Amino acid sequence: MVDGKTFSDYRILARKYRPKNFSEIIGQDTTVQVLRNSISLGKYPQGIIFTGIRGVGKTTLARIIAKCLNYVGSDGSGIPTADPKDDCPNCKSIDIGSHVDVIEIDAASHTGVEDIRKIIDSARYRPASARYKIYIIDEVHMLSKSAFNALLKTLEEPPEHVKFIFATTEVNKVPLTILSRCQRFDLKRVGIKELIKFLADVAAEEGAKIGTDALSLIASASDGSVRDGLSLLDTVLSAKDDSIKIEDVREILGLVNKEKIYELFDFILKADIEKSLICLRNIYEQGADAESVLKDLLEITHWLTRLKAVPQLLEGEDISEIDVKKGKEIAEKLSIPILTRIWQMLLKGLQEIKISYDPVNSFEMIIMRIAYASNLPSLDQLLESSSIETKNDDIHQASLLQSKSSAHHNLKKRDGDKKTTSSKNSSMTALAVSPKHDEGFVQMEEKKRDTDQHSHIEGNASMIEIKTFADVLHQLEVQKEVILQNHLKRNVHLVKFAIGNIELRLKKSAPKNLAGKLSDLLKTWTRKRWVISLSQEEGLPTVLDQEVKEKEDARQEILTDTLVAKIIKIFPDSEVEIFENNDNDREVD
């Protein structure tokens, strides 16, 4: 017992401030309006399904509907109404979850077909004390396929006194046959403004002093869930009795100061690896986990991208001071392509952290990856740079052509002058030539001569002489065409060889495109046309067979040598091995 109160008297805020009528529901105005009208007009369906994230009011709305349909008033003569009062005994029982005709079932623990059969069997009987027997099945998507099938007929044509209300967080797992038999209501996340106002009212009711910025932080961490917001507020109020500030909320809930996240983001953008890693370690030592920090970076990236695309967001939304200040400052420096690149890398990093043996080490690697990539040029910049280089090349080529044309014109003019001038006035002619013009012409001619000579040398260097079939095999080895060289050695019989014309007989194991490929390669190397024709003549043995025969002949020749014969006679069990001498392996002194 504490201050005259027992622990059993305490109720958590999520239960204490649970809405009891439609007017207390926040953030679901459209759904509430439709439900109120359907009850008031007597057009309530036999089945309803609520879908949405946790803590937005699915089962709460189900209970309120049960109260509205079973309202009888204090004297028992009341009729269904969208605004039930607290004087109804049915409503009081439903509020505390003890009414016999309002059955709440958790589908996560009652998944089988037998559980559904019990519901079907009990649905046949009329309610004990209420107007309607109402089945509220939470997390309905957890039911098995057989259970869903067993429910179909009863859901489609239930008794007049039975109503079904389903709630789920994963509506995509509910069969379409079930959805088509129900009216569906998608409950949305509660907006930050509405959630802050609601939490402020609760805090005031509890006698707590808490700042708006602290409530904003709680609302943001709640992600649109009223129950999550109340649970977080409950934690904060339990930790401190006096005035609560935003720093207290961060410390109690283990949330990171957003200024630190912006600081880390700025270091990453500047590619300052050292400061980025130090900042991350400081944040980690304050109690934040790597995954939550990365999610904060994702949130900042998303906010900056939206701000970059729509600057008016600064005026139209309830944005924190730090987001306005830092967001405007950073967004001016970045382009949307860079932000989207960072977003993709962070999103990929989030997946890596979830499966990593050490999330912090993985996060450090992600930071280094983003810091390096943030300074890389975008695709547009690369294309622009490429177009500039191409344009410069075109200008350079045009200037060369113009220079050559001018030089050619001057040369013709000079030759004409020589023809019309007599040999006696040759000295005067020399004086008449412009030294400046002549100097440019000489330089251009020298450039042209050097260029032509260089091109001639390059042309000769690129041309390869092929005079024998052995040259063909050697060049294939030089050009790394190992597969084609192997086929020519093993699967080809040379019938005739001449420069520009080769006749071959192919084995069955040779590829069909061998002749065409060889012809293309020879044409590329020699800049001449080569005709590779296939013949049925016997031709020479394959190169491989020739090499084997040469080795065997060399072996026999060695065995017949007098010295070798004497050695074999002295050592009868010895074997003769032949080692090839490779000139490439010799050392050059």
Same domain, 15 and 136: yes
Choose one of 155, 170, 188: the last residue of a domain. 188
Same domain, 148 and 296: no
Same domain, 142 and 26: yes
Same domain, 182 and 37: yes
442 compared with 328, residue with greater pLDDT: 328
Same domain, 317 and 175: no
pLDDT value, residue 378: 58
Least confident of 51-65, 161-175, 442-456: 442-456
Q: What is the mean pLDDT of residues 267-280?
A: 89
List of residues 6+ apart from 43 with CB closer than 8 A: 37
What are 49's strand-pairing partners?
A: 166, 184
Q: What is the mean pLDDT of the chain?
A: 81
In a domain? residue 208 = no
pLDDT value, residue 387: 56
Choose one of 357, 379, 401: the last residue of a domain. 379
370 compared with 558, residue with greater pLDDT: 370
Q: Examine the pLDDT at 346 and tell me if it is beyond 90.
A: yes
Same domain, 176 and 64: yes
186 compared with 572, residue with greater pLDDT: 186
Bin 320: left if φ > 0, else alpha if -120 < ψ < 50, else beta.
beta
Name the pLDDT band for 523 (thresholds 50, 70, 90): confident
CATH of the domain at 18: 3.40.50.300
Q: What is the mean pLDDT of residues 62-71?
A: 94
CA 76 – CA 89 distance, rounded (Å): 9
Q: What ranges in 169-288 are assigned the alpha helix state H?
A: 176-179, 192-205, 212-222, 226-239, 246-253, 258-269, 273-285
In a domain? residue 550 = no
Least confident of 103-107, 223-227, 282-286, 301-305: 282-286
Same domain, 260 and 184: no
Least confident of 23-27, 262-266, 359-363, 443-447: 443-447
CATH of the domain at 341: 1.20.272.10
**471-499: per-residue pLDDT in tens?**
888 888 888 888 888 888 888 899 888 88
pLDDT value, residue 390: 55
Q: What is the mean pLDDT of residues 316-338?
A: 79
Q: Examine the pLDDT at 102 and tell me if it is beyond 90.
A: yes
Name the pLDDT band for 158 (thresholds 50, 70, 90): very high
Name the pLDDT band for 588 (thresholds 50, 70, 90): very low
Same domain, 308 and 165: no
Choose one of 325, 344, 379: the last residue of a domain. 379
pLDDT value, residue 126: 93
**187-215: per-residue pLDDT in tens?**
999 988 899 999 999 999 988 888 888 88
pLDDT value, residue 170: 93
In a domain? residue 589 = no
Q: In terms of residue numbers, what domain contains 29?
A: 8-188
pLDDT value, residue 449: 45
In a domain? residue 548 = no
Distance of CA 38 to the CA centre of its chain: 45
In a domain? residue 238 = no
Angle (nearest 5°) at CA 165 between 163 and 168: 165
442 compared with 210, residue with greater pLDDT: 210
Same domain, 261 and 158: no
CATH of the domain at 532: 3.30.300
pLDDT > 70 fraction of the chain, expressed in percent and rounded = 80
Same domain, 19 and 147: yes
In a domain? residue 385 = no
CA 496 – CA 259 distance, rounded (Å): 83
Tally of structural domains, the chain: 3
pLDDT value, residue 439: 38
Same domain, 179 and 57: yes
pLDDT value, residue 104: 94
**387-438: per-residue pLDDT in tens?**
555 555 555 555 554 554 444 445 444 455 544 444 444 443 333 333 443 3
In a domain? residue 265 = yes
In a domain? residue 314 = yes
pTM to 2 decimals? Answer: 0.58
CA 546 – CA 550 distance, rounded (Å): 6
Q: What is the mean pLDDT of residues 319-331?
A: 80
Same domain, 274 and 360: yes
